[in-house]
Amino acid sequence: MNLTSPSQVKAWCIENGFHPNKVLGQNFLIDRNALVAIVDAGFAGLAESPRILEVGPGLGVLTEEMLSRGASVVAVEKDPALAGRLKEALGGPERLNVVADDALRFIARGMEGRTFDAMVSNLPYQAGTRILLDLVINRSIPRMTALVQTEVAERLAAGEGSKTRSLAGVWTQLDYDVKIVRKVAPTCFWPRPEVGSSVVTLTRHERNIALSGEERRIFRSFTKKAFEHRRKQLGSVFKDMIQSTARAEELSNDDWIKLVKGVASNEYT
């Protein structure tokens, strides 16, 4: 089956009584140009035969392309019907390992002790941000490329002072440089989603590697509380602890780190 052919994908679903699940965010990529762009971005700078994590492989369009480029792929698929067919449908490749499980549980288990050079995925719409943040906090994957809603991509990439600055962006940028590669139109998917998507890359940096586990805990705690009250000045949110007229989205990550170090030195609990 040509996985970028809308007619063949639809025919397979009808023949097998499969209905894409909106709750699971199943929107299958059916555009060859977008497919190549995602994998090109995901494989940029990687050595030969990379070890790739793929979350939500669906029918296997990204999986097939990545295998053809010599990658070894661990594909984590929550839908048992799709997980059960994937390996056989792609010809039983030895370099493909299918994990039939929820990606959030897989990450929480330490990804079963596996190590990866990169993550490349068309993430499910409903859980995509949560999956990315869990991987970001884990910090074990040096490069991640994901197809997500454009709104999510913009929040992840937004710098200080931007109206789209978000908690997700602050947490991600602590350890990853974020770049929006390109937009992908709704017509590139089946079923067609109501919103546009974008390819985003996250490349791990080492600028904050010296932060202790306690400093990271305070960083997440403070930024979470600040963005829960993003319309308030920080001095109002953190009374008797911080004197500042700034609001959460106005601070850079360096600003947050300086604040956290000051708080940590006073043994905040």
| Residue 1 maps to a domain | no
Share of the chain above pLDDT 70, in %: 99
Mean pLDDT value across residues 167-174 = 98
3-class secondary-structure state, position 251: coil
pLDDT tens-place string over residues 20-73: 877 777 889 999 999 999 999 999 999 999 999 999 999 999 999 999 999 999
Q: Are residues 92 and 143 in the same domain?
A: yes
Domain range spanning residue 180?
A: 6-204
Q: Are residues 221 and 174 in the same domain?
A: no
Q: Are residues 156 and 261 in the same domain?
A: no
Q: Are residues 111 and 86 in the same domain?
A: yes
Q: Are residues 221 and 151 in the same domain?
A: no
Q: Are residues 169 and 231 in the same domain?
A: no
pLDDT tens-place string over residues 241-262: 888 899 999 999 999 999 888 8
Q: Which pTM was predicted?
A: 0.93
3-class secondary-structure state, position 199: strand
Burial class of 33 by CB neighbour count within 10 A (0 to 12, 13 to 18, 19+)? exposed
Closest CA to 220 of 163, 137, 152: 137
Question: Domain with 229 in it: what CATH number?
Answer: 1.10.8
pLDDT tens-place string over residues 92-109: 999 999 999 999 999 999
Please report which confidence band the pLDDT of residue 161 belongs to, taking 50, 70 and 90 as the band edges.
Answer: very high
Beta bridge partners of 53: 74, 119
